[in-house]
Amino acid sequence: MTFNGVNFDTYLKNYPNKDGFFGKYGGAFVPDDIKAAMDEITEAYFTICKSSKFIAELRKIRREFQGRPTPISYLERLSGKLGNVQIYVKREDLNHTGAHKLNHCMGEGLLAKYMGKKKVIAETGAGQHGVALATAAAYFGLECDIYMGAVDIKKQAPNVARMKILGANVIEVNEGLSTLKEAVDAAFRAYAKEYKDAIYCIGSVVGPHPFPMMVRDFQSVVGIEAREQFLDMTGELPDAVVACVGGGSNAMGLFSGFLNDPVEIYGVEPLGRGKKLGDHAASLKYGSEGIMHGFNSIMLKDEKGEPAPVYSVASGLDYPSSGPEHAFLHDLGRINYDVVDDKETVDAFFALSRLEGIIPAIESSHAVAYAMKLAKKMERGSILVNLSGRGDKDMDYIIQNYPMPE
């Protein structure tokens, strides 16, 4: 399929280009010493990760350790409440550690092992990436430093405990808003001092090249599985696929399986408390082109052109930019990006829990909320949602801050 001049038959092989650009977005805007480290990772990725030995080991890990493939579930009761549209979810909440993040963390950990690195360094927001990387580090026998904002540490206590139990060193960040953006800043500074012995394992399809490409490729297993499973279950493709977007790793994982199909694709950003700058984290909806954390994308800026303060009920989505591939597909028009607010998200959290017995991550609840709205607009058809994680980590926060529905 060709869409606005881009051939999606060969898209995943041709994007990004050799310099890490998706059109004008992406690249590696980092100091020379860090650029050399990025080049080392890129070279290792293209040599090691494409070898039959690496692929065989990664497939074995996915099958025997992660529990892949994860299933697709039909949401019969929720669908029935919304009309004639059938809603399905890809159950990444059933992936080991409870979210999609392990898909790329095991790949990055395996790469670190092959490169002879001794330590993995990363940031985390909701803690899902931190738990996944701590799990990978334990599996491969690597040291693990996780940087996490003080605000998120308080909101996500269960995941902090998991990281520590797994042997990770959780480093509290008390700068700025003390959330995900500041955690990334701190992790990058640490990596700049240790890059010879460590590998930075970024938590999404963001950062300097090769991370947006590498994380997408490791996450593409979600879309590959989902497409095959949905065809097997229903005999046809879904009419729409939906995923939440912060940095955008779970979304690119699912979307990559359907970009070349006649399927409507929706990325859902957090509107938070409203449209005012500082009350949301909807960079693709309200942002403009800009560079942060070593890559060019669409970001939210303050009056000085610096990354703006952002907010979301979901710690995993409160980031002032999105992956460069999302920015490219946004401008191209292949993916529709929209928003839901905190209230819609929390309502969806409870709806899925009470109607289907599935407690979703508050990040994933954004996608569920949008699918519920979309189902009411569609007269018939089917929607596939990426349920990117489970909600154990969010239960205390939601119960303390929101009324229980009657």
Token pair 């703006």 is found at: 308
- Which residues are identified as catalytic? 101, 123, 388
Longest dimension (CA), the chain: 58
Q: Which residues of the chain fall short of a pLDDT of 50?
A: none
21-62+101-212 CATH fold = Rossmann fold (3.40.50)
**For every residue of the chain, which 3-state class applies, written as one string?**
CEECCEECCCHHHHCCCCCCEECCEECCCCCHHHHHHHHHHHHHHHHHCCCHHHHHHHHHHHHHHHCCCCCEEECHHHHHHHCCEEEEEEEHHHCCCCECCHHHHHHHHHHHHHHCCCEEEEEECCCHHHHHHHHHHHHHCCEEEEEEEHHHHHHCHHHHHHHHHCCCEEEEECCCCCCHHHHHHHHHHHHHHHCCCEEECCCCCCCCCCHHHHHHHHHHHHHHHHHHHHHHHHCCCCCEEEEECCCCHHHHHHHCCCCCCCCEEEEEEEEECCCCCCCCCCHHHHCEEEEECCEEEEECECCCCCECCCCCCCCCCCCCECCHHHHHHHHHCCCEEEEEEHHHHHHHHHHHHHHHCCCECHHHHHHHHHHHHHHHHCCCEEEEEEECEECHHHHHHHHHHCCCCC
pLDDT for the residue 101 = 96
Fold exhibited by the domain 67-99+219-401: Rossmann fold (3.40.50)
Residue 33: predicted pLDDT = 82
Model-level pTM? 0.95
The per-residue pLDDT for 188 is 86
CATH 3.40.50.1100 in the chain, residues? 21-62+101-212, 67-99+219-401
Half-sphere exposure of 97 (CA within 13 A, CB side): 31
